[in-house]
Amino acid sequence: METFKHIIDTIQATQNITYEQLDYVLTHIDEEKAEYLYQKARQVSEPIFHKAVYLRGLIEFTNICKNDCYYCGIRCSNSNAERYRLTKEQILSCCEIGAKLGFKTFVLQGGEDPYYTDDKICDIVRSIKNAYPDCAVTLSIGEKSYESYKKFYDAGADRYLLRHETANEEHYAQLHPANLSGAHRKQCLRDLKAIGFQIGCGIMVGTPGQTIRHIYEDFAFMKELQPHMIGIGPFIPHKDTPFRNEPMGSVPLTIHLLALLRLVFPKALLPATTALGTADPLGREKGILAGANVMMPNLSPVNVREKYMLYDGKICTGDEAAECHRCMELRVQKIGYHVEDSRGDHPDFVL
């Protein structure tokens, strides 16, 4: 226990983690040690975030995707997926519902759908910013050129989420077809940051072939990138993908990593993800108690929810936005935290 505590304290003090430290922590952790780690993570986040959990309204506006990622339920070759696109009017009406509930961030997430040209995206972003000038707009629509990202930014988009999925290029190639590369994905993140977006990267935990070494490389990549947000959740198999028979990622491992991320990136926005809530009914609560500070309730129209199935069993597909919002509020309160309706920018970000 003393060695473990010493390592955790060192990670906290240096805001960095070596391969040896990560390996020791992950291979020696038990319930008692985990409690020490989580307590440290809370100690780090409390003076910065004061037990606030920021909410982001998630609008899944298209499940059409030109990519064929091996893990993802909306991959282009899944012919069982019933495809949909939301119109600009539908997206705006999601925002209207969200604004009434108090959301100050709208996340537009979708597959890489060529129908939404840069002009269409910019038009949607402008319309939202026009109608809700005090709200942040986050885009999560995949890999684009520097020029496209710049157009989105100039149209008023504030943030961009693009998980790097894994920093190790060989591992990246195990999860994606050959036309996609880890190097390009990382370049996209660097471009987004250079343009001025608040950026979010992240990984799935427990994807096929993932090792502690890979996770260490993720930490090293993120130390260099300095993202504003880091989204992690367990890998969950989807029945219509090549990974249908692969085991689900570990919930405890995900929570341990959230806590370690909090120690290494004290000011980062760390969502307690839907995948975490899917893998374990109390997963998001456990995540918050280990340092997570963001939740993303679903604002998509209920009739499309079932269709945005990235993995099997996804939660919240039957709940109206208001129910989802209320449910999250209660869950957060139950563990002694509160949801906050501010934009929830990164502490170092100035408007």
List residues binding ligand FES (CB under 6 A).
297, 316, 319, 323-324, 327-328
Among 228, 238, 256, 325, contact with ligand 5AD (rule: CB under 6 A): 238
Asked whether position 233 contacts ligand 5AD by CB under 6 A, the answer is yes
Does the protein bind ligand 5AD through residue 310 (CB under 6 A)?
yes
Q: Which partner from the list ligand 5AD, ligand FES, none does 236 bind, CB cut-off 5 to 8 Å by kind?
A: ligand 5AD
State in angstroms the smallest separation of the CB of 96 from ligand FES.
Answer: 19
Q: 47 in the Ramachandran plot: left (φ > 0), alpha (ψ -120 to 50) or beta?
A: alpha
Q: Is 38 in the site for ligand 5AD (CB under 6 A)?
A: no
Strand 338-340 relative to strand 136-140: parallel, antiparallel, unpaired?
unpaired
Judged by DSSP in three states, 166 sits in coil
* 133/336 with CB nearer ligand FES: 336
How would DSSP label each residue in 91-115?
A: HHHHHHHHHHHT--EEEEEE---TT
Secondary structure (3-state) at 32: helix
**Residue 72 binds ligand 5AD, judged by CB under 6 A:** yes
Under the binding rule (CB under 6 A), the answer on residue 71 touching ligand 5AD is: yes
User: How many Å apart are CA 44 and CA 259, to the nearest integer?
Assistant: 10
| Cα separation, 40 vs 260, whole angstroms | 9
Cβ at position 150, least distance to ligand FES in Å: 35
Which helix (H) or strand (E) covers residue 52, if one does? Answer: strand 52-55
Q: Which of 311, 324, 325, 339 binds ligand 5AD (CB under 6 A)?
A: 311
65: partner contacted, choices ligand 5AD, ligand FES, none (Cβ within 5-8 A by kind): none
Q: Indicate which single residue of 275, 296, 304, 321 sits in contact with ligand 5AD (rule: CB under 6 A).
A: 275
Whether 44 contacts 24, CB under 8 Å = no
Q: Which structure tokens are listed for 78?
A: 């899944």
Q: Which is nearer to ligand 5AD, 12 or 207 (CB)?
A: 207
